[in-house]
């Protein structure tokens, strides 16, 4: 068995010894071949570590988009955050802007304003939000306010309150079961 391996090694060495190129062009090709063999060997031996970082980024990319869209919806000021004229903030809008500027994480303090019916109304909304948000800005920086066409899925608070109050008004009075007088439990 050992003799067979030694003979096989000698044959391989003899083949490679005869394959050594004679001129410079063949020498360059020979060198390039061995460089590619060494490169491939290194690649094979470091697999899969070299590919883990790009794969992890590819897996996380959808979640980054989801988080961005979630903050965009969270920081959205829609029609019900503005007064009847639809250009100045009402109390709900002011509270929302204050929350965004003071409570939201710094990297997510961008305020999104739903487009109004006209570009002039949209510009007036953005100006009103920037003016009110500047009160809470740190370092004198104006808040970043962006226009969006994202629609809100919420309801005006007055409608929710009205439905809740009507639900409470129509609920039956709580009653205890009648006492049967036997002193026994019905369990």
User: Is it the case that residue 122 has pLDDT exceeding 70?
Assistant: yes
Q: What pTM, to 2 d.p., does this model score?
A: 0.60
The confidence band for 27, taking pLDDT boundaries of 50, 70 and 90, is confident
> Residue 40 corresponds to which tokens in the numbers above?
């491939």
With CA atoms as reference, report the closest residue to 145 among 136, 154, 155.
136
Angle at 157 between CA 152 and CA 159, to 5 degrees: 100
Q: Which of 112, 28, 14 is nearest to 72 (CA)?
A: 112
18 pLDDT higher than 80: no
CA distance 79 to 44: 59
CA distance 26 to 32: 10
């Amino acid at each position: 068995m050992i003799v067979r391996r030694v003979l096989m090694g000698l044959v391989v060495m003899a083949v490679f010894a005869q394959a050594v190129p004679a001129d410079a062009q063949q020498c360059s090709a020979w060198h390039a071949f061995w460089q590619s063999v060494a490169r491939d060997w290194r690649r094979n031996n470091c697999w899969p570590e070299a590919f883990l970082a790009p794969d992890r980024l590819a897996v996380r990319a959808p979640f980054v988009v989801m988080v961005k869209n979630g903050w965009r919806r969270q920081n959205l000021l829609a029609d019900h955050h503005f007064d009847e004229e639809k250009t100045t903030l009402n109390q709900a809008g002011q509270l929302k802007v204050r929350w965004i500027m003071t409570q939201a994480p710094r990297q997510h303090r961008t305020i999104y304003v739903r487009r109004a019916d006209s570009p002039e109304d949209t510009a007036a909304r953005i100006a009103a939000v920037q003016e009110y948000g500047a009160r809470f800005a740190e370092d004198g920086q104006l808040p970043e306010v962006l226009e969006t066409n994202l629609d809100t899925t919420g309801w005006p608070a007055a409608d929710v309150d009205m439905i809740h109050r009507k639900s409470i008004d129509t609920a039956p009075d709580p009653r205890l079961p009648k006492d049967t007088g036997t002193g026994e439990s019905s369990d």
